[in-house]
Amino acid sequence: MDVISAEIAALRKAIEDHNYHYYVEDAPVISDFEYDKLMRRLRELEEKYPELDSPDSPTHRVGGEPLEMFEKVEHAVPLQSLNDVFDYDEVIGFDRRVRSVLGDSVEYVVEPKVDGLSVSLEYENGIFVRGATRGDGSIGENVTGNLRTVRSLPLSVNSEYQRLIVRGEIYISKAVFEELNEERELLDQPLFANPRNAAAGSLRQLDPQIAHSRRLDLVVFNIQLAEGSEFENHSDTLDYLKSLRFRLIPFRICRTAEEVIDEIKRIGASREEFPFEIDGAVVKVNTLSAREAMGSTSKAPRWAVAYKYPPDQKPSIVKNIVVSVGRTGVLTPKAEIEAVRLAGTTVTNVTLHNSDFISQKDIRIGDTVIVQKAGDIIPEVIEVDISKRPDWSIPYEFPTSCPACGSDAVREEGEVAYRCTGAECPAQLIRNITHFASRDAMNIEGLGPKVVEQLVQEGMLRSSADLYFLNRDELISLKRFGEKSADNLLNSIENSKRNDLSRLVYAFGIRHIGQQAARALAESFKTLSALREADESEISLVPDIGPVMAHSLVQWFSSNQSAHLISRLEEAGVNMDYISSSVGRKFEGMTFVLTGALSGFTRSQAKKAIEDNGGKVSSSVSRNTDYVIEGENAGSKLDKAHELGITILSESEFVELLQS
């Protein structure tokens, strides 16, 4: 056991060393393959010898059941906010106030203000035990499970302090932010507005797996508490945190107001060089005893301010207005403008959002416009300078056909976006095939977005139907494809031919047609041919199908591209008939709510069992709920069920109900 224990300790140290090199220093020293081998060996040993497991093991960065709700945490040291200043005169006024208390011998630490989410990180005897959001400064939320997923956060540190509390900022890097929005566009999910909102929403997910998928990052900037410490300066505490292998916000020491202003200007000019978004610069008195002399108000310290950079706005001329088609079929206009420098980058394109935005501001080719880049990543038009409009300008007319495939572009009532209706539009190809192959649609394993993108780029897929005509030898010749992976993919594609009609209808990705609607349509019409021939009034008679859905279906089926896609799928032998489920309908009209962790089911398995029997699963308890299924560590939903008198089933009672 001593030998095994030593190997486990060595593996943990090696993995955390590699995490530090990769996620903090951005300088990996081994390949991903070698890293994965170390992690796999550690998991094997911890599973075989559970008595040697430890909460600070890197294997625990992601795990645990989703939470019902976050616990409240009282901060041992309040996480105060800062007073803002907006011009250099206010910076000079701050310096004057500081010197009136401390005299002329003053040092400041100046650092960029990361536009993220502030957190406290608590370590006991060097082990990370708790992490919390700032909240109102006094009370935050316990997000320990989500913070464990952050690779740049050390789960253990070599600290001599029994209790150490560190303050940092959680963020999503600009590069990861763009990747996440590309993925969300593929999945037809709402895009994140900016990295800060994305980071805040990700850290407050009840399921750590979701937080893990968002690839959060961390920088630290303060020691809140180190019992028994004797640091003299804030800069000393930062050096100490660096020795513990935290990633720090970069900083400089300044001794005059002029030096502070110069550093604020330097940070502002170089803001594009940082991996994170910044919205200002923070100025702090360096000496800790001097801070005590300055004191604080109830909300903010008197020894620090945050300089907020003003929005960068400049005039430019619209050279052209062009419309592109996104992966979800949305037509997005942008203005090509004369090059202008904004927030450290050269901008030649600005978003125009949608047709309403263009109409409301009456933006025309040739106009002089004021453009801004602040808060969001994408620069936009703030206003038009009508006084400089050329005589030859005419109002812009938004296109009503797709610029990528020529299909009709339609704008549905209540929406601002025009969408392409083409089933085989090349601009939507990756998204359409990814959806077609997804688990809830045709369930083709091994065909995620990256593989789809690779096959499209290689010219092997021009529509979802091409999946059924893939060539084994061509697949094997591709990178990341061996014989086994190619065979597995082809077998999964072949198996998908036998899916029920409801999966196929959902896989088409028809606007407004979700899984439940697809199931209802398949049960009602029995064949795809019958569904294609139905008119809107016939389709609207199906339960849960409204006129908007009926119109969307008829419109999709009337397209030549849709007809071609269906023809190719028929040629491939894909089933287009309803397959009656062998499972009964005993839960028809019943609504279930799941709470707590079940031992014999995953959440998705329990949900499927209920839906296969005709029932519905809701995320919240109401008077319309028929049963609440109680697992271990059930949360507030159980209290609500008691309050409303809803029948509560244990897991064993639920199983009996299924088998009855």
DSSP states of 182-244 as a string? HHHHHTT-PPPSSHHHHHHHHHT-SSHHHHHHTT-EEEEEEEEEETT----BHHHHHHHHHHT
Q: Is residue 39 part of a domain?
A: yes
Helices (H), 83-131: 88-102
Tell me: the pLDDT tens digits for 215-252?
999 999 999 999 888 899 999 999 999 999 999 999 99
Instruction: Give the global pTM.
Output: 0.63
Domain shared by 522 and 439, yes or no: yes
Domain shared by 471 and 536, yes or no: yes
pLDDT score at 624: 86
- On the question of pLDDT at 65 being above 60, the answer is no
Q: Is residue 562 part of a domain?
A: yes
- On the question of pLDDT at 312 being above 70, the answer is yes
Domain that holds residue 494: 426-572
Domain shared by 155 and 14, yes or no: no
Q: Is residue 222 part of a domain?
A: yes
The verdict on whether 113 is a catalytic residue reads: yes
pLDDT > 70 in the chain, percent: 96
DSSP structure string for 286-351: -BHHHHHHH-B-SSSBTTEEEEEPPPEEEEEEEEEEEEEE-TTSBEEEEEEEEEEEETTEEEEEEE
Domain shared by 94 and 217, yes or no: yes
Average per-residue pLDDT in the chain?
88
The least confident of 99-113, 165-179, 306-320, 594-608 is: 594-608
Tell me: the pLDDT tens digits for 40-53?
888 888 888 888 88
Cβ 183 vs Cβ 248: under 8 Å:
no
CA angle 146, 234, 171 (to 5 degrees): 25
Domain shared by 112 and 177, yes or no: yes
Q: Is residue 95 part of a domain?
A: yes
Domain shared by 117 and 159, yes or no: yes
Q: Is residue 399 part of a domain?
A: no
At residue 86, the 3 state secondary structure works out as coil
Domain shared by 291 and 317, yes or no: no
CA 91 vs CA 46, 86, 281, 376, 534: distances in Å: 55, 8, 11, 26, 71
- Show Cβ contacts of residue 540 under 8 Å, excluding neighbours closer than 6 positions: 546, 547, 550
Domain shared by 38 and 94, yes or no: no
**Exposure string (b/e) for 48-77, b if CB count within 10 Å is 16 or more?**
eeeeeeeebbbbbbeeebebeebeebebee
H/E element, 119: strand 117-124
Residue 600 CB coordination number (10 Å): 11
Tell me: the pLDDT tens digits for 515-553?
889 988 998 999 999 999 999 999 999 988 999 899 999
Of 273, 308, 343, the residue that ends a domain is: 308
375 pLDDT band (50/70/90 cuts)? low
Domain shared by 126 and 39, yes or no: no
CATH number reported for the structural domain that contains residue 539 in this entry: 1.10.150.20
Domain shared by 295 and 273, yes or no: yes
Of 285, 308, 331, the residue that ends a domain is: 308
Beta strands in 561-642 (DSSP E): 591-595, 616-618, 627-630
pLDDT score at 376: 47
Q: Is residue 325 part of a domain?
A: yes
26 pLDDT band (50/70/90 cuts)? low
Cα–Cα dist 419/422, whole Å = 9
What mean pLDDT do residues 160-184 have? 90
Domain shared by 235 and 114, yes or no: yes
User: Which candidate in 13, 48, 72, 113 is catalytic?
Assistant: 113
Domain shared by 336 and 292, yes or no: no
CATH number reported for the structural domain that contains residue 324 in this entry: 2.40.50.140
Of 276, 308, 340, the residue that ends a domain is: 308
Report the domain count for the chain. Answer: 5
Q: Is residue 552 part of a domain?
A: yes
CATH number reported for the structural domain that contains residue 226 in this entry: 3.30.470.30
Tell me: the pLDDT tens digits for 80-91?
999 999 999 999
CATH number reported for the structural domain that contains residue 621 in this entry: 3.40.50.10190
Q: Is residue 383 part of a domain?
A: yes
- On the question of pLDDT at 635 being above 70, the answer is yes
